[in-house]
């Protein structure tokens, strides 16, 4: 048996190993590197955002109030109402929950207001009243208005979004109409408190369906203009009602993830509601309107 010298054996093995390695690299290059395992991400789910707006509505009244068949014309400014209200108590707030183009909305107004003399004029106190009575009139109304519904964004053009909305508006009222009694007078079914005859309405409530639309315009980051209009009633609750709101929100700052904004605007709400006849007649044909001031918290 013949053996190759050690130096010759090593010289032969080196090129053979080199060729084998080169062939392996070429084969791997031809087959290509293994493809990375694709990462499948779950689709992003839009989250809910919430906005709460406690606000004040400096309300003026313009219309007609009828209690137990007695009607008065009301034209009272906010200053008149503050001056003649024994207690001016109000609770007002707006709430909206939004998820993408869909949102749920609610609004609450509760107030106890009064008007007298310059803000209230006699129209008809005749049913059941004979004799002499004074013309000093006073009207006190305890009222709650609750709105609830939904809105959906149907179009958007850059910073301008258009929504349609629908829902219901619930009304609750108790009204007292009183006037000074002078001399002998037959006041029929009215109650007497001191020198005043009082017509009590008792509890009156109704529910109106509402449809409408609104426009939201982002003027700049943190600044938004909102315009809303709706109509309702349609003889289901009231004969007819309408509402118009214009508001401007401007960001004040963010604290612990909550964005606070100031809100200024104007709100007008009209309703024509009537029930009963004769001495059971109750009617609230009234426009409530005035500036709105509030603070918005969004989270």
Q: What is the pLDDT of residues 101-153, one digit of tens each?
A: 999 999 999 998 877 665 666 555 554 444 445 557 788 899 999 999 999 99
Conformational region of residue 69, where left means phi above 0, alpha means psi within -120 to 50, and beta covers everything else: left
First to last CA, the chain: 92
pLDDT of residue 38: 55
Can you tell me the distance from the alpha carbon of 78 to that of 72, in angstroms, rounded to the nearest whole number?
18
Q: Chain-wide mean pLDDT for the chain?
A: 81
Give 51 or 39, the one with higher predicted confidence: 51
pLDDT at 183 over 70: no
| Amino acid 46: pLDDT | 64
3-state helix, strand, coil in the chain (%, to 5): 15, 65, 20
pLDDT in tens, 234-287: 999 999 999 999 999 999 999 999 999 999 999 999 999 999 998 889 999 999
Rounded Cα distance between 53 and 108, Å, is 11
Residue 43 has pLDDT above 60, yes or no: no
Name the token pair of 135.
């013309």
Do residues 229 and 243 lie in contact, with contact meaning Cβ atoms separated by under 8 Å? yes
Q: Which residue has the higher pLDDT, 137 or 41?
A: 137
Q: How far apart are CA 231 and CA 269, in angstroms?
A: 10
pLDDT at 102: 97
Q: What angle do CA 249, 88, 250 make, to 5 degrees?
A: 5
Average pLDDT over residues 57-75: 89
pLDDT top residue among 169 and 73: 169
- What is the helix (H) or strand (E) element at residue 28, kind and residue range? helix 6-31
Which two structure tokens, joined as six digits, stand for 125?
């106190």
d(CA 188, CA 196): 13
Q: Do 114 and 73 form a contact (C-beta atoms < 8 A)?
A: no
Percent of all residues in the chain with a pLDDT value above 90, rounded to a whole number = 54
Position 34 scores a pLDDT of 57
| Residue, of 73 and 157, whose pLDDT is higher | 157
Under the banding of pLDDT at 50, 70 and 90, the label for residue 185 is low
Rounded to whole angstroms, how far apart are CA atoms 108 and 122?
31
User: pLDDT confidence of 70, banded at 50, 70, 90?
Assistant: confident
pTM over 0.95: no
């Amino acid at each position: 048996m013949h053996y190759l010298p050690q130096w010759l054996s090593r010289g032969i093995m080196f090129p053979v190993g080199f060729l084998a390695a080169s062939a392996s690299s070429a084969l791997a290059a031809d087959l290509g590197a293994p493809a990375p395992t694709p990462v499948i991400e779950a689709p992003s789910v839009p989250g809910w955002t919430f906005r709460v707006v406690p606000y004040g509505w400096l309300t003026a009244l313009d219309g007609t109030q009828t209690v137990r068949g007695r009607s008065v014309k009301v034209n009272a400014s906010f200053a008149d109402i503050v001056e003649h209200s024994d207690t001016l108590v109000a609770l007002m707030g707006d709430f909206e929950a939004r998820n993408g183009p869909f949102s749920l909305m609610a609004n609450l107004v509760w107030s106890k207001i009064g008007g007298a003399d310059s803000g209230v004029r006699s129209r008809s106190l005749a049913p059941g009243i004979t004799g002499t009575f004074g013309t000093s009139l006073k009207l006190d109304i305890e009222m709650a208005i609750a709105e609830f519904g939904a809105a959906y964004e149907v179009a958007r053009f850059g910073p301008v979004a258009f929504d349609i909305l629908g829902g219901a508006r619930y009304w609750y009222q108790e009204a007292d109409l009183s006037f000074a009694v002078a001399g002998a007078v037959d006041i029929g079914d009215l109650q007497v408190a001191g020198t005043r005859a009082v017509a009590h309405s008792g509890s009156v409530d109704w529910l109106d369906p509402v449809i409408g639309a609104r426009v939201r315009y982002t003027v700049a980051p943190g600044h938004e203009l909102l315009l809303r209009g709706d109509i309702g009633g349609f003889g289901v609750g009231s004969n007819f009602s309408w509402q118009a709101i214009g508001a401007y929100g401007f960001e004040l700052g963010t604290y612990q993830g909550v964005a606070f904004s100031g809100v200024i605007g104007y709100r007008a709400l009209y309703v024509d509601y009537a029930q009963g006849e004769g001495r059971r007649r109750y009617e609230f044909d009234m426009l409530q309107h005035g500036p709105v001031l509030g603070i918005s918290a969004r989270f």
